[in-house]
Structure formats: structure tokens, C-alpha cells
Amino acid sequence: MNTYEHSVSLDESRCTGCTTCIKRCPTEAIRVDGGHAVINSDRCIDCGECIRVCQHHAKIATCNKLDHLYDYKWRIALPAPSLYGQFEGLEDVDYVLQGLLDMGFNDVYEVSQAAEIVSEYTRLYLKTEGIKKPVISSACPVIARLIALRFPYLKDNLLPILPPMEIAAIEARKRAKAAHPELKDEDIGVCFISPCPAKTSYVKNGFGEYKSNIDLVVSMSDIYFSLLNLMSRDKVPQPVSNSGMIGISWAASGGEATAIFNDKYLAADSIENVVEMLDQIENGTIPQLEFIELNACTGGCVGGVMTVENPFIAKARLQTLRRYLPVSQNFLTDDKKYIPPEYFFEDIPDYKPMNRLGSSIGESMRMMSDIQKLRDGLPGIDCGSCGAPNCRAFAEDVVKGERSLESCIIRTHRIQNGEPVRKFDPSERKEDGI
Amino acid sequence: MSESLRFHFNVDGSNFTTAGQASVQVKKNLRELGIPADAIRRVSIAMYEGEINMVIHAHGGEADVVVYEDRIEIILNDHGPGIPNIELAMKEGYSTAPDNIRSLGFGAGMGLPNMKRYTDKMDIETELGKGTKITMCVNF
């Protein structure tokens, strides 16, 4: 996993070394060290939570710049459906697509179009005998990675079909080559317009053995203003949009799940809820369900940190936008009622427990035992002043030799004043059993 | 192997909404130790069922999880009413859970059977009016 290329990084010059992000990171991947935040890349799942909460804009999502587009002769835009929710008063998706064409793209292939095909495939897949249920959506890369790295028991539940953005990329390439046979592979540049850093990381790293068919990823917020300026209401756009209610609805939580046309589904969003759901699915403490849609961002993709609009407003706009659209515009024809083998991903990244303490169970046990002892002598107020998110994580850092006990200033202060370090009985407050 | 590591939990019998939390926590701790995923899952299910049982039938109790290098022991201790007929209690579908609990989906009579199924060894010591001690072991 050391070779994994992340898409969340830090602008040191903006970081004040406050403790906001360390407290909010769901995998405790951030510490404050030397006056600024440091991200532990082994633990980071690219959820973007730290970008969302940083008031100093010190956390950044690393995407491509639009200039790289001109490295390619034939440029294709893949707008995520969440893009459509970013514009006030938008009546027709075609205005957005025309704007993209005017921006310098030669073609546009809507991800929502591929999403409708994925919905068709999912309905087919759910009827397959012998598959493990509930089937869990693999479209949110954070979920797919969380399952691979932390919930290996659920990996057979993962929908083994490529996410819509990849199918859109494959189809868009085919279309370009059919229309322009003279184009070579390297002439075609497929550019995904992404709502979140997790999708950006998916493109950079692929998934297991699968390598992404997307060449560039630009952030929705990066192109927002230039796109807005190009979206003229006076000019009638070309009618290129080809997606229906289902495709557009994929942008928000519940959209993918409702498209399976079966009421045995569940849709959960935001990272804390999702982790709790995965725990419950693993323990078998959920009702009998066919399909589970999980999104790491609140509200689904419209809640991605690279979007511009509030997720709930974006979702409301999408409801208006899809009102007079057909249910779907993309179907499998009778002769193609199967999932093409190239749209399956077979290989899932190796399970690697992300929080393992030592290299062997014995070593880990000794370390945890040391953490137990150390922790009883800490204040237990989880203030974050030491740079770790809580006293438990601090004890872990000390045992690993990554932080000195003296960096707990509360402890030092209380010892100097002759006060007890811990002001409550340590045996009372041990929700984690350690 | 002499080294072991113990996690201790007080299972609060008065608060049903917190039932099941110790098992989630155990799972987190075991992951940090690098215990194989399948063993973690079995421990957390057995632990979950045991915890729920203690809350429903025995007003809570204490749970200890002891990790050895090759196995995990779960010890559940309560001071509840005891189990009058262990053989009957072990039957799938047999339950004495009250109606208000059943309405939440519990009381399917799968608690003890699941605990046995997911562990390699299970012992029940019970005395009417005194309490129950269940010891389970998961090898890995």
C-alpha cells in the first residue's frame, strides 16, 4: 500500500497546527507534528473529511489542471451527475454539456448514462444464483477500499461491476474510435469531472489489477466558474444529453439503490454511518436485504468535497431537473442481456489490516499491553494538544516511539502542580476495554 | 504461551440502547493486534450475542476478552436468574425474551446457538438465582 497515490494533501503554509482535522479523521490518520498536520498515508482512505472541516483551507485535493487537456487531440469530458446539481435555475442538462463542449472538449459522455447501464447490470446480477447477499454497491471508491482493507469478510458482497465513471470512459473511447478511426489510443484524452478526491485516487491507482480508463481528473470546483461563464442561456444547446431519472438520481444517496426496483434495499451515507453499517453487516445484525448502497459523503456524491453547492440544495435541484425525464434512457437490448466480462473486476486489493500495531500478533499484544498501562497515567481528556486525536492514540504513538510522553502538556502541568494527572478513576471510563 | 492480553467491559443492563457496543470495540482492538479476519468476526458475533443476552436476561454483567497468541477467550459473567434448562436454551428458536424485546427483532432464539456455532469451545456454568458464567474460545 506504500505505492498508493493519495489525492488529499497538505498546504503547509496554510496549516496553523490546530486540532480540527485530527479529531475528525475517521481513521485517525492525522497528527499535528512540528506545528502542522501530517497525514499517515497508510491509514488515509481519501474520504476528504479533513478537507471539509479545515477552516484554513490547508487540506487540498490534488487533481489535474485543465491545461493538460491539450496534451490530447481528442478530448472527452465525463461529467459526474452531481455536476448538474451545482447550477441555480438549470432547466436542462444540455446547457451544462454545451458549456463543456465550448470549453474545448470534442465530446461529452455523461457518467449518468453509464450509471443507467450499471443499474441494468445490477438488476441482472441480483438474479444470479449463488451470489452473496446483500450485494453492496462498489461505486463509491471509499467503500470499495474500506471493504478491501478492513472488512475482508464482506468482499464477496461487493458488486463486482466497474463503477459508472469507468464504464463511461470505456464507452466514450469506443465511440470516439468508431467516429474517428484515425485516432490512436494515445490521441484520446478522457477527462472525468469529479466531485471528490476518492474518485481521483481511484483513477490514479485503479482497483486491484484493474487500471483506470480515465486519463485526467479535474475537480468540479476548479472548473465551476469557467463553465458557468460559458453556459449561455441565450444560445440553444445541442441536444446531446441521453440520461433519465435513474442516471441523474445516482448523484444523491438512495439513487442507485432505488434503481434496483426492489424494496429490499438500504442506503446509508456519511463516513461514520457507513462504517457502522459495515460493522453491522459483518455481524449479521441487519434485516434480510438484497442491496446496500453506501456513500462516504453526506447526501451521496452531491456531498463530495470538490463540489460547490450544499449537498441538500444540489439534491433538491436534481429533483427539479429530472422531473420531466423518462425513467431511463439506457437499456440492454434483448441480444445483450448479460454483463460483458470486461465490465467485471475480479481482483480486489489485498486485505491489509490498516491499524495493526506490530509486525506479529505477539508483538502487537505486548504493545497493546504497554498502551493499557500508559493510558492509566494520562489525563484522559482527549484535548489533542499533543497532536494526537485522543489520549488512547497518544499512548499508541508513545509506545510506537513516535511521540514523547513529555508532549502531553496537561500531564506535565498537573505533575508540576502536584495534582493527580487523571481526575477520575481510570477503571470507570474504559468504553474500549483497553 | 504465557503472555496474554485482557479487555474488560462492564455491560450495562439498565441501558438497552448501548447493548452491543462492547463487541464493536473488541473488533477494533483485535484488528489492531492483527488477528485473522475470520477469527475477529467469530469473536465479535459470539460476543454480541452474549452481550445482548446479558442485557435482556440478567440486568447486565461483565465481559472479559483474553487474547493469547493462538486463541481468544471470551468470559461472560452475570448475576442474573440463571438458566433452568441448558439443553432447552441451546435449541434454535427457543427463547424466553419478553415481548417488548421481541418487537426490536431480538428474541429469535438464536443467541446461545450462534455463540456455540461461531466458537470452537463453549462452557456454561449456571446456578439458579445466582447467575451464569459462559466461557467461549475461538482458535486461530
B69/A358 touch (CB, cutoff 8 Å), yes or no = no
**What digits encode the pLDDT tens for the residues A313-344?**
999 999 999 988 889 999 888 888 889 989 99
Say which of B3, B25, B31 has its CB closest to residue A433.
Answer: B25
Is residue B81's pLDDT more than 50?
A: yes
Place of cell 474460545: B137
Vertex B139: Cα angle to B138 and B140 (nearest 5): 125
What is the value of pTM for the model shown? Answer: 0.83
What CATH number has the domain bearing residue B87?
Answer: 3.30.565.10
Domain spans of chain A?
Answer: 8-61, 66-343, 361-416
pLDDT band at residue A96 using 50, 70 and 90 as cut-offs: very high
Mean of the pLDDT values across residues A139-154?
A: 89
**What digits encode the pLDDT tens for the residues A169-217?**
999 999 999 999 999 999 999 999 999 999 999 999 999 889 999 999 9
Say which of A285, A353, A433 has its CB closest to residue B31.
Answer: A353
Tell me the C-alpha distance between A97 and B48, whole Å: 51
User: Which residues does chain A have within 8 Å of residue B28's beta carbon, measured at their own beta carbons?
Assistant: 355, 432
For residue B65, what are the domain limits? Answer: 5-139
Domain count, chain B: 1
User: Which residues does chain A have within 8 Å of residue B42's beta carbon, measured at their own beta carbons?
Assistant: none
Mean of the pLDDT values across residues A294-316?
A: 96
Tell me the C-alpha distance between A401 and A399, whole Å: 5
Same fold, A8-61 and A361-416: no
B37/A362 touch (CB, cutoff 8 Å), yes or no = no
Select from A147, A151, A365, A392 the residue whose CB has the most chain B CBs within 10 Å, as the one to mutate to test that interface. Answer: A365
pLDDT band at residue A428 using 50, 70 and 90 as cut-offs: low
What's the pLDDT score for residue A429? 55
Higher-scoring residue by pLDDT: A382, A234: A382
Q: For residue B118, give the 3-state DSSP assignment.
A: helix
User: Which residues does chain B have within 8 Å of residue A357's beta carbon, measured at their own beta carbons?
Assistant: 32-34
B34/A279 touch (CB, cutoff 8 Å), yes or no = no
User: Which residues does chain A have within 8 Å of residue B22's beta carbon, measured at their own beta carbons?
Assistant: 433
Higher-scoring residue by pLDDT: A389, B31: A389
Mean of the pLDDT values across residues A241-269?
A: 94
A283/B45 touch (CB, cutoff 8 Å), yes or no = yes
Q: Does A409 touch chain B (CB under 8 A)?
A: no
Q: How far is CA A184 from CA A71, A176, A213, A342, in A?
A: 13, 10, 14, 21
Tell me the C-alpha distance between A164 and A166, whole Å: 5
What's the pLDDT score for residue B56? 87
Say which of A153, A361, A430 has its CB closest to residue B69.
Answer: A361
Rounded to a whole number of angstroms, the distance from the CA of A288 to the nearest CA of chain B is: 12
Select from A368, A375, A400, A428 the residue whose CB has the most chain B CBs within 10 Å, as the one to mutate to test that interface. Answer: A368
Which fold does the domain A8-61 belong to in CATH? Alpha-Beta Plaits (3.30.70)
Range among A36-45, A228-237, A264-273, B11-20 with highest mean pLDDT value: A264-273
Higher-scoring residue by pLDDT: A164, B101: A164
How many CA atoms lie less than 13 Å away from A223 in the CB half-sphere?
A: 29
Q: Does A353 touch chain B (CB under 8 A)?
A: yes
What's the pLDDT score for residue A285? 80
How many CA atoms lie less than 13 Å away from A189 in the CB half-sphere?
A: 19
As a whole number, the mean pLDDT across chain A is 91
Superfamily for domain range A361-416: Electron transport complex subunit B, putative Fe-S cluster (1.10.15.40)
Rounded to a whole number of angstroms, the distance from the CA of B48 to the nearest CA of chain A is: 8
Higher-scoring residue by pLDDT: A295, B55: A295
The alpha carbon of residue A428 and the mean position of all alpha carbons in its chain are separated, in whole angstroms, by 37
Is residue A265's pLDDT more than 60?
A: yes
Minimum mean pLDDT among A84-88, A230-234, B4-8, B132-136: which range? A230-234
Is residue A231's pLDDT more than 80?
A: yes
- The answer for residues whose C-beta is within 8 angstroms of residue A200's C-beta and 6 or more apart is A7, A46, A61, A62, A63, A194, A217, A219
What's the pLDDT score for residue A233? 75
Is residue A292's pLDDT more than 90?
A: yes
**What digits encode the pLDDT tens for the residues A344-367?**
987 787 766 667 888 888 899 999
Percent of chain A with pLDDT over 70: 97
What's the pLDDT score for residue A108? 97
The alpha carbon of residue A341 and the mean position of all alpha carbons in its chain are separated, in whole angstroms, by 25
User: Which residues does chain A have within 8 Å of residue B21's beta carbon, measured at their own beta carbons?
Assistant: 431
Mean of the pLDDT values across residues B109-117?
A: 88
Say which of A283, A361, A434 has its CB closest to residue B29.
Answer: A434
What's the pLDDT score for residue B2? 57
Select from B10, B33, B115 the residue whose CB has the most chain A CBs within 10 Å, as the one to mutate to test that interface. Answer: B33
Residue B68: DSSP 8-state = -
Is residue A398's pLDDT more than 80?
A: yes
3-state secondary structure chain A: CCCCCCCEEECCCCCCCCCHHHHHCCCCCEEEECCEEEECCCCCCCCCHHHHHCCCCCEEECCCCHHHHHHCCEEEEEECHHHHHHCCCCCCHHHHHHHHHHCCCCEECCHHHHHHHHHHHHHHHHCCCCCCCCEECCCCHHHHHHHHHHCHHHHHHECCECCHHHHHHHHHHHHHHHHCCCCCHHHEEEEEEECCHHHHHHHHHCECCECCCCCEEEEHHHHHHHHHHHCCCCCCCCCCCCCCHHHHHCCCCCHHHHCCCCCCEEEEECHHHHHHHHHHHHHCCCCCCCEEEEECCCCCHHHCCCCCCCHHHHHHHHHHHCCCCCCCCCCCCHHHCCCCHHHECCCCCCCCCCCCCCCCHHHHHHHHHHHHHHHCCCCCCCCCCCCCCCHHHHHHHHHCCCCCHHHCHHHHHHHHCCCCCCCCCCCCCCCCCC
Place of cell 508483538: A363
pLDDT band at residue B12 using 50, 70 and 90 as cut-offs: confident
Is residue A1's pLDDT more than 60?
A: no
Tell me the C-alpha distance between A36 and A264, whole Å: 46
Rounded to a whole number of angstroms, the distance from the CA of B4 to the nearest CA of chain A is: 7
A283/B29 touch (CB, cutoff 8 Å), yes or no = no
Is residue A16's pLDDT more than 90?
A: yes
Q: Does A432 touch chain B (CB under 8 A)?
A: yes
> Torsion angle, CA of A136/A156/B41/B99, rounded to 10 degrees?
50
Phi, psi of A255, rounded to the nearest 5 degrees: -65, -45
Which chain A residue has its CA at the smallest distance from B45's CA?
A283
- The answer for residues whose C-beta is within 8 angstroms of residue A334's C-beta and 6 or more apart is none
Rounded to a whole number of angstroms, the distance from the CA of A20 to the nearest CA of chain B is: 23
What's the pLDDT score for residue A349? 78
What's the pLDDT score for residue B1? 47
Percent of chain A with pLDDT over 90: 73
Which chain B residue has its CA at the smallest distance from A358's CA?
B33
Ranges assigned E (strand) in chain B: 5-12, 60-67, 71-78, 121-127, 131-139
Is residue A109's pLDDT more than 70?
A: yes
The alpha carbon of residue A296 and the mean position of all alpha carbons in its chain are separated, in whole angstroms, by 6
